[in-house]
Amino acid sequence: MTGSRIAAIGHYQPARVLTNKDLAGMVDTSDEWITSRVGIRTRRIAGPDEPVDELAGHAAAKALAAAGLTPGDIDLVLVATSTAVDRSPNMAARVAARLGIPSPAVMDLNVVCAGFTHALATADHTVRAGAATRALVIGADKMSEVADWTDRTTCVLVGDGAGAAVVEACGPGEEPGIGPVLWGSVPEMGNAVRIEGQPARFAQEGQSVYRWATTQLPAFARKACERAGLTPADLAAVVLHQANLRIIEPLAEKIGAVNAVVARDVVESGNTSAASIPMAFSKLVERGEISSGDPVLLFGFGGNLSYAGQVVRCP
């Protein structure tokens, strides 16, 4: 068995920007109300002709280019999403067709906001088992399509986008670049975050999610660091699911990553569900806020009250 690493990462967001001022013209809200409660100022919204697989394909193409690879180098495509409209073909197959990947295994994972870190762990395990050599791991969601635009408590949160990582086997003697995953869930509280009904609509019990995230998750995040043989003080960056700035900041503080850059992409992108972690990570890399080889904690949480986190080395 060999370890795996992230070779490259990329992200994509649609062009349309929806500001808090714009939202104030749609529902009973204001910029002050939104920023004081969730910290979001803008979000990107995809058009009706921009499906989830298109967002995912753009992000994946950028990651492939950054890795210096071709579609033929990929033998596994994993897409984490909870906003796929059709059941078949799945998002992974559609992305593979868009990019011209010849014969990959194609799977979607629906773990909502923790989807990307679950998919990353799945790719790592698959490479370690020898069943794949290079994988595209994508988080992509079109949350605007499941938003209730009359509910000011939830519609102010959501945005659309995608992020992708190329995962490949480590070379001989190379240290693994993806640490052991720490994952789990609280199924009996799964209704605290929902995307259900016909048509499907996003709803949540905000206070329950806030209490759970800020009280229960710090210990899990520290455990993920421990499994990687590090302490939180060793981290160069912390990339949490970009749910709400009022969750991200206290959670990061309680983890104890005193030397780390904390991703706050939620301010400009909103909550993009499975896309939020790879998008925020990609932007830190793009801006040069972290360097190749730096240890970074990725930690997703949310729907199903599920969570998954691992320490990775920056590509």
Active site residues: 113, 241, 271
Which amino acid makes up residue 248?
I
What is the CB-side half-sphere exposure of residue 174 using CA atoms within 13 A?
Answer: 15
For the chain, strand residue ranges (E) read 4-12, 17-19, 42-44, 76-80, 105-109, 134-142, 160-169, 182-185, 193-196, 201-204, 237-240, 261-262, 295-302, 306-313
Asked if residues 174 and 119 have their Cβ atoms less than 8 Å apart, the reply is: no
SS3 265: coil
Is the Cα dihedral 191, 195, 200, 201 positive or negative? Answer: positive
Asked if residues 111 and 306 have their Cβ atoms less than 8 Å apart, the reply is: yes
Residue showing tokens 């050599």: 133
Q: How far is residue 139's CA from residue 275's CA, in Å, rounded to a whole number?
A: 4
* Cα→Cα distances 199→87, 148, 183, 202, Å: 15, 10, 30, 10
- Six token digits for residue 310: 């691992």
Task: For the chain, give percent helix, strand, coil, nearest 5.
Answer: 40, 25, 35
For residue 271, the 8-state DSSP code is B
Q: What are phi and psi of 214, to 5 degrees?
A: -85, -15
Closest CA to 165 of 5, 281, 6: 6
Is the Cα dihedral 80, 144, 186, 180 positive or negative? Answer: positive
For 217-267, strand residue ranges (E) read 237-240, 261-262
